[in-house]
Structure 1
Amino acid sequence: MSVFEHPEFDAHEHVAFYSDPVTGLKAIIAIHNTNLGPSLGGCRMWPYLNSSEALTDVLRLSKGMTYKAAMANLQQGGGKAVIIGDPRKQKNEAFMQAMGRFVESLSGKYITAEDSGITVDDLKAVATQTSHVAGTFAQYNALGEAPTGNPAPSTAYGVFVGLKQTVKHVLGSDLKGVKVAIQGMGHVGFRLAKQLHAEGAELYVADIFPEGLARAQEELGATVVAPEEILTLAVDVIAPCAMGSSINDESLPDIRAKIIAGAANNQLAREELGSVLHQKGIVYAPDYVINVGGIIDIYHQKQNDSSDTAMREHIAKIGDTLCEIYERAEAENTATNLVANRIAEERFAK
């Protein structure tokens, strides 16, 4: 199957493949749409089973970035990079420098940033080979941490704001006593858990790696559950904060939560599942709306006249955007993801 016949191909402007025999780098960059500006999106490293799985991910993620930028009213397009490999075993400076040469070969059409499996130090190695990198320098932080360039604090704050607003809309309450199951205790998932805990939420957490789980249990009193159980719990909210497609034909029948609101990209294995959720009475916060805090962060880091407060206020508007989506979805008796898609497409279409 060629790229053009791939089910996730959506009139992408550019898809590039790269292989470096010296370092072993195998990577793909996809540029979806640049009507609003140059494409920007994180670089993800993951041990994909094969190149077909990686291609599916990069096509979906790059499209999501176009919609995400449009919903945040940013003058930029959507792109994404994926590296095939285990980030805990295969990365080194030369490896990331090779990735920098790949980014540079696209002459600024794609600007890379941090994503799963990639650190700020990795990006600094990339930046030795190309200037088309965001996230290596930071001035502001949404959660009051020392600015590092990692957009995770802003992503987590945006998801927190969106989740809180969704709970208010659906349950008519604040977060005290609300049961939230978080799938993934990485940079974003743990920060989200910390904010939810501060407002009295009851937490259940799962991850394939133990480090974040132990910390969540010790510091936040979270209940640790097996990864295969996290989506099936009798909770109020499920917050997917790991890899995509967790809401699929196999998992959906067992979901008992009233709300799905998390940080993961491409949470729905296919768009049609949004309508299934709507029919089941489950309110879904469209992923590219609720997790947009990261690219808002990157935008503000480039503004010398911004501030922690200005960035937080911009991110906080995620709650208002979600309310608009929920109200339109209810008025039209349709799925929230379809409403969000229409709004975004109106903004980036020419």
Structure 2
Amino acid sequence: MPIQSVTFDGRPQRLLAFQDPVSRASGLIAIDSTALGPATGGCRLWPYDDNVAMLRDVQRLARGMSYKNAIAGLPLGGGKSVIRRPAGDFDRVALFRALGRALNEFGGDYLVAEDVGTTTGDMQVARSVSPYVFGLPVSGGSAGGDPSPWTALGVFLSLEILLARRGRSVAGSRIAVQGLGSVGADLCRRLHAAGASLVVADVNERAVAELRATVPAKIAAPGTIHGIEADVFAPCALGAGLNGTTIPEIRAGIVVGAANNQLATPADADLLHRRGILYGPDYVVNAGGIINVAAEYLGLTTGEVADQVARIGPRLSALLDRAEAERITPSAAADATARDILASASKGRSGLP
């Protein structure tokens, strides 16, 4: 199928659908913006209910990557790929070879790395047929490899900033973490080491057991953990978990986590604000992973990645200051900043912070 021109939330995107008859998988790649550089974003493997859900997810995620990369000051645009996971056993090698062939259709306008449900091994398979793949195993001090530890670090640093604005520190705070994938589990280990007490939840019982083998934590049901009384609620699972149903039930004064597209609608940011909940915009705080991917693409070192990830906290503080000064939500301040950067770049100016 050829690359299509589509519209999402009033702005154009490019969309490519692909299929692999061997693995029985179908997928989508969406490019939202190349104003700052090649579109970059991970590949998600998930058992979507239908093609409509898959399309909605890839378009929202691609838009989020445009904003994330702009706010992070990266020379990258926004894009994303998603694959509908086949039921039962499937040929994983054939699937990621198919992804690699689809990447080649964009000729370098979209660069991919791993995301929910995918691994560095999957990226190596895709790289065998496409040069536009990153998140590969590292050698020496070069940047690369699994980006999830960097994502977790950025969220941890942001959580520290938000707690400090409420006169607290991580030590002695109660943190409710929803989602114990690579990022969520790493975040829990960092929080425990810093003296926090944890309440955790995941739909995967094995993930919960593996975490509790090394980190003491209480367990809550995935569907109710947002309502646990805590200092911080950290959503680290899938998106749209902050919505008109869950937000009234939140019993934490701060919400910050690694999940993408946490707000089901823009109006949910206002709902959080009206409840007095301090929110760390997801694409600001979870940028550590894409910073690592960008460094791999640019040939930088892990030390340079660490320096850039360390800027996430001060960047969040500046956005919170803007929100207070302009009497808008943190999400509105982040969106406005990202749009300004993209608009400036589209007019031929750098626009980078």
Measured after TM superposition, the shift of residue 5 of structure 1 is 8.4
User: In structure 2, how many angstroms separate the alpha carbons of the residues matched to 1:104 and 1:76?
Assistant: 18
Long gaps (5+) in structure 2:
347-353
Paired letter, 1:301 = E
2:32 is the alignment partner of 1:32: yes
Counterpart selection for 1:275 from 270, 274, 277: 270
2:67 is the alignment partner of 1:67: yes
Aligned-partner SS, 2:189: helix
Residue identity (%): 38
Measured after TM superposition, the shift of residue 310 of structure 1 is 2.6
Long gaps (5+) in structure 1:
none
Closer/same/farther in 2, CA of residues 21 and 87 from structure 1, 3 Å limit = closer
2:120 is the alignment partner of 1:161: no
Match of 1:335 in 2: 329
Q: Which deviations, in whole Å up to 9, do the C-alpha atoms of 1:211-251 show, x marking residues without a partner?
A: 22113223111111111111000101011111000101111
Q: Which range is displaced more, 147-156 or 315-324? A: 147-156
Q: TM-score, normalised by structure 1?
A: 0.93
Q: Please list, as runs of the form range in 1=range in 2, the aligned pairs for 1:138-287 lying within 5 A after superposition.
A: 138-139=138-139, 149-169=145-165, 171-287=166-282
User: In structure 2, how many angstroms separate the alpha carbons of the residues matched to 1:164 and 1:111?
Assistant: 31
User: In structure 2, how many angstroms separate the alpha carbons of the residues matched to 1:227 and 1:23?
Assistant: 30
Paired letter, 1:56 = R
Closer/same/farther in 2, CA of residues 140 and 194 from structure 1, 3 Å limit = farther
Q: Which deviations, in whole Å up to 9, do the C-alpha atoms of 1:116-163 show, x marking residues without a partner?
A: 11111111111111111111242478xxxx987110010011111111
User: In structure 1, how many angstroms separate the alpha carbons of the residues matched to 2:155 and 2:295?
Assistant: 18
Paired letter, 2:111 = I
Counterpart selection for 2:294 from 288, 296, 299: 299
Q: Is the 8 A contact 1:140 1:307 kept in 2?
A: no
Q: Is the 8 A contact 2:143 2:293 kept in 1?
A: no
Closer/same/farther in 2, CA of residues 331 and 140 from structure 1, 3 Å limit = farther
Q: Which deviations, in whole Å up to 9, do the C-alpha atoms of 1:172-217 show, x marking residues without a partner?
A: 1211111110000110001000001011111010001122211322
Match of 2:52 in 1: 52
Aligned-partner SS, 1:340: helix
Q: TM-score, normalised by structure 2?
A: 0.92
Q: Is the 8 A contact 1:20 1:26 kept in 2?
A: yes
Measured after TM superposition, the shift of residue 325 of structure 1 is 1.2
Paired letter, 1:166 = L
Closer/same/farther in 2, CA of residues 140 and 329 from structure 1, 3 Å limit = farther
How many correspondences in the alignment? Answer: 341
Aligned-partner SS, 1:212: helix
Aligned-partner SS, 1:258: strand
Closer/same/farther in 2, CA of residues 260 and 87 from structure 1, 3 Å limit = farther
Match of 2:305 in 1: 311
Aligned-partner SS, 1:334: coil
Closer/same/farther in 2, CA of residues 4 and 233 from structure 1, 3 Å limit = farther
Q: Is the 8 A contact 1:137 1:301 kept in 2?
A: no
Q: Is the 8 A contact 1:44 1:82 kept in 2?
A: yes
Paired letter, 1:96 = F
Closer/same/farther in 2, CA of residues 163 and 27 from structure 1, 3 Å limit = same
